[in-house]
Amino acid sequence: MKIAFRLLLTWVSFAGATCLLNAQTSEVTHNTWTSGAPMPVAVKFPMAGVLGGSIYVVGGVTDSAVVANTQIYNPVANTWSTGPAIPTTTMDAAVAVVKNVLYVFGGSNDGTTQTNAVWGYSAKTKTWTAKASMPTTRASAAAAVYKNVIYVIGGYSISGGRLDTVESYNPATNTWTEEAPLPVGKSEPSVGVVGTTIVATGGYSASGDNGNNESYNISTNSWTSLAAEPTGTNASCTGSAKGALYVAGGSNSSGNAVNNTQSFSPKKNKWTVHTTIPQAVADPGSAVYKGVLYCLGGGNVSVQFQGTVYDFVQIYQP
């Protein structure tokens, strides 16, 4: 009840709209955007995940430097705190959470070169630990978790360009396995698990943002083409909720932020267009907490050390 009331009041301030809500109910207003307390440090290209009811936003890049700080957002209290920094400055890495450990895969330490380093942060011990390196050095990849195995999909490297690489990581054994490649190599795709399907949509390919969309069948280790995005984007805010993969904001082929919000249902093989994100943003951190999508930071240009870097927390209620 208190959460719904606070979020609606924030939406009134954010959008300049006039809305009423009975404070004695727990009514949720669907397909709406609200705002949270701004980030202490504005970043784009951060890594984000949910640990113990808080959203951890790790690293990223400011307007002048790649950083290593860990910013922790409490979605219930709408407050920020600070956690242990990742051992190396990191931006534009893939991220996933398994059994209350947040994993960071690859990315860039300096904004120019790529790495294959893997770090794990334990919420229990509050420490970072180096894990088995990725077989492929890359940044701008995305990750999805199915049955406690992490699938790192796509990405970019100076030597390989836009990658079709798919590698799975088993945290229990700290080992890697090469999987069937993407049909189309792409960086910064929107990736998530919906039901038993991994969806990898959008992203920047050799031909730009063509909105291509594929699903990965884990049992057969194979990919299937699906309905393309209505608006092709890369570097979007992404998360799975209510049987769909949500894709908000992101960048177009020119590198400029966009404000569209759309969702994909694998069951129907259909896209739906929703209320646009209030502030067009590219390369934000993404997290889903209790079925709500959080878009954290980002910028107006999908290039490091260029444009404006935001401290926004934009929250979507499906």
The answer to whether residue 6 scores a pLDDT higher than 70 is no
- pLDDT band at 161, cuts 50/70/90? very high
Mean pLDDT across the chain: 92
Residues 61-68: what's their mean pLDDT?
A: 97
Instruction: Classify each residue of 23-61 as buried b or exposed e, where b means 16 or more C-beta atoms within 10 Å of its C-beta.
Output: eeeeeeeeebbbbbeebebbbbbbbbbbbeebbbbbbbb
pLDDT interval class at 10 (50, 70, 90): very low
What are the chain's domains?
1-30 (no CATH), 36-317 (2.120.10.80)
Q: What is the pLDDT of residues 123-141, one digit of tens each?
A: 999 999 999 999 999 999 9
CB-count burial class (<10 Å; 0-12, 13-18, 19+) for 158 = exposed
pLDDT one-digit tens code per residue, 267-311: 999 999 999 999 999 999 999 999 999 999 999 999 999 999 999
At CA 178, angle to CA 174 and CA 181, rounded to 5? Answer: 140
Residues whose CB falls within 8 Å of the CB of residue 7, separated by 6 or more in sequence, listed in order: 34, 315, 317
257 phi/psi in degrees, rounded to 5:
-70, 145
Residue 4 has pLDDT above 60, yes or no: no
Residue in 142, 120, 8, 1 with CA at minimum distance from that of residue 56 = 120
Q: Is the pLDDT of residue 150 over 60?
A: yes
pLDDT in tens, 179-192: 999 999 999 999 99
d(CA 231, CA 115): 31
Q: What is the pTM of this model?
A: 0.92
Dihedral-angle region of residue 40 (phi above 0 means left; psi in -120 to 50 means alpha; beta otherwise): alpha
Percent of residues, the chain, with pLDDT higher than 90: 91
Instruction: Tell me the average pLDDT across 169-196.
Output: 97
* pLDDT for the residue 168: 98
Instruction: Please say if the pLDDT value at position 94 is more than 70.
Output: yes
Question: d(Cα 251, Cα 248) in Å, to the nearest integer?
Answer: 10
Q: Could you report the per-residue pLDDT of 40-55, keeping only the tens digit for each? A: 999 999 999 999 999 9
List pLDDT tens digits, range 205-241. 999 998 999 999 999 999 999 999 999 999 999 999 9
Q: What is the pLDDT of residue 26?
A: 54
Residue 27: pLDDT band with limits 50, 70, 90? confident
Q: In this structure, how many other beta carbons lie within 10 angstroms of the beta carbon of residue 91? A: 27
Handedness of CA 186, 182, 237, 53 (dihedral sign): negative
CA distance linking residue 184 with residue 205, whole number of Å: 7
Contact 235, 188 (CB under 8 A): yes
